[in-house]
Amino acid sequence: MPQFESTRRVGHSADEMFELVADVEKYPQFLPLCKSLHVRSQRDKDNKTLLVADMTVAYKMVRETFTSQVLLKPEERRIDVKYVDGPFRYLDNRWTFEPLGEKQCDVRFFIDYEFKSRTLSMLMGSMFDYAFRRFAQAFEERADEVYGRPDR
């Protein structure tokens, strides 16, 4: 039952970071292990958006696709991801974006997951751990590309 949580202070606004993480179809361009992402459906209601998306992750000869529901809550600056189908027994993922002024925020990332198969866990487990630890950094680097490097 691997679990990972991080808080990262970044030189971009909470709204910018929310928009960057909410743009799931761009993940294959910069996210570790993410080879493709396809949004199956999108529903907007009450200032929230619910996406159902398939993400394919790959490492060496192992390639797996899983389906998730992604609930975007821009007014709360929160993204909740719930597992639907694929190689996991469960997967729970949350992002929150706490404003710290006009051009700074804390990005909180949490993930808790378990593979269905022991074999897959042994093959992919350490690589997933590494990738999840890199996620916040990958998004910060992407924000620097999209919005410009902040003055440090």
Asked if residue 16 has pLDDT above 70, the reply is yes
Asked if residue 34 has pLDDT above 70, the reply is yes
In a domain, 27, yes or no: yes
Least confident of 45-49, 56-60, 108-112, 148-152: 148-152
Asked if residue 136 has pLDDT above 80, the reply is no
Domain of 32 in residue numbering reads as 3-147
Q: What percent of the chain has pLDDT over 90?
A: 65
In a domain, 152, yes or no: no
pLDDT digits 0-9 by tens, 78-133: 999 999 999 889 999 999 999 998 899 999 999 998 888 887 787 666 777 777 77
Name the residue type at position 10. V
Longest dimension (CA), the chain: 47
Asked if residue 38 has pLDDT above 80, the reply is yes
Q: What is the pTM of this model?
A: 0.89
Domain holding 20: CATH number? 3.30.530.20
The Cα–Cα gap between 14 and 86 comes to: 31
Average pLDDT value for residue range 46-58: 95
In a domain, 85, yes or no: yes
Total domain count, the chain: 1
In a domain, 143, yes or no: yes
Average pLDDT value for residue range 51-80: 93
